[in-house]
Amino acid sequence: MRPRPAFHNAAWPARPRGDAGVFIQGCGATPRALHKQQEQLMTVDIAVIGALYERYLGRTPDPQGLQHFQAFNSADDVERAIVGSDEFRSNGGLLSIPDMPVAWKICILEKAKLIFVPIAKNAHTSILTALLKARGIDWRTLPIQDDLDAKHGTDDDKIHAALAGNNTGLLLKDLSPGRADEIMKDPEYLRVAVFRDPLDRIVSACNHFFVQELDNPMAQRHSQQIVEIFGSAPDGESNLCEYWLRRLMKFLMTNKHVAPDAHWMPQYEYIRALKIDHIVPIERLDVLEKMVAARSGERLDIGLLNVRGSGHGKHDAIAKEVREAVEQYYWLDRHFYELGKANIDALERQFDERK
């Protein structure tokens, strides 16, 4: 039997296999037509499939599994499917790949030997744009498969859609599980994340999704759950950011069983399954640029894209009890952010000395 698929590791989102999975299961095709279709789609070498079975399942492939996986588009896709199977998840095999929210977006900088964990609302778009530019990739040339993104998305939305739907070689999901495992185990790789003042971050998210773009269908993917619970803001509300921040915090504090949206998910959730070497505060992205340059010899220029102003949510315009609720809920984010600020000068000197 072929290994039965289980839920996908967060490092590799589910991918459609096109028609391969349809006619392997029959679907009314005649034996002759089925055989012809299979011949056309057999693109993965039998020896490669056998080696993957031995590596991850400790056995040789049976005829059904061999036939199934020969119809896959690439050996990497076969490897991802085997790693995502019930059989692999229930055996003793270990992979050093973080199974955590949006792990597939982790950036792998092989030349700099650096693993960067992007966090939503923490200069995510600016850093991704700079990393793609350093690789000579213009995301605008990449197809966007999501119709809603293509029609209503801002450039910020579209760059993430382009990365999700294409293999740029930058993200963890673009690597095979075996290669990702090698990198995660390599002690020469540094693991880095950018942290932001948690109150600044959540105010930015409220301005973005509940004030500036509340009527944008793309933004509604994120805000809809909250708006449906609390209803629309009353006409004449003078501080929309605080209005929605108060309700967002109530939702988060009373629905802890519900996975929060990535834009208000605590920052520590992005790194909880991955040991981090350095935290860079968002105000010091120049240090991240120096790290990449010192370790790769290549210049990285991080601009400031998708910057959301705080005109609708200045800190002193937000009620004390709301600010206290933010600090309580995001206390670990505050801890790591302050730790990053305390250590940033020493980190900068470390990479200045390497010039």
Name the pTM for this structure: 0.84
Q: Of all residues in the chain, what percent are helix, strand and coil, respectively (each to 5)? A: 55, 5, 40
| Percent of the chain clearing pLDDT 90 (strictly above) | 68
**Is pLDDT at 203 greater than 50 in this prediction?**
yes
Determine the pLDDT at residue 247. Answer: 96
Give mean pLDDT, residues 323-351.
97
Question: What are the CA-CA distances from residue 337 to residues 129, 196, 304 (Å)?
Answer: 23, 6, 19
Number of C-beta neighbours around residue 68 at 10 A: 22
Tokens representing 215? 């009527």
List 171's β-bridge partners, or say none: 107
Average pLDDT of span 195-205: 96
Sign of CA dihedral 66, 72, 78, 84: negative
Contact 83, 177 (CB under 8 A): yes
Instruction: Name the residue with tokens 């790949």.
Output: 97
The answer to whether residue 349 scores a pLDDT higher than 60 is yes
* pLDDT tens profile 289-322: 999 999 999 999 997 655 444 444 567 789 999 9
| Residues 201/315, Cβ–Cβ less than 8 Å | no
The pLDDT of residue 305 is 55
Element (H, E) at 115: strand 114-117
> What are the φ/ψ torsions at residue 314 (nearest 5 degrees)?
-65, 145
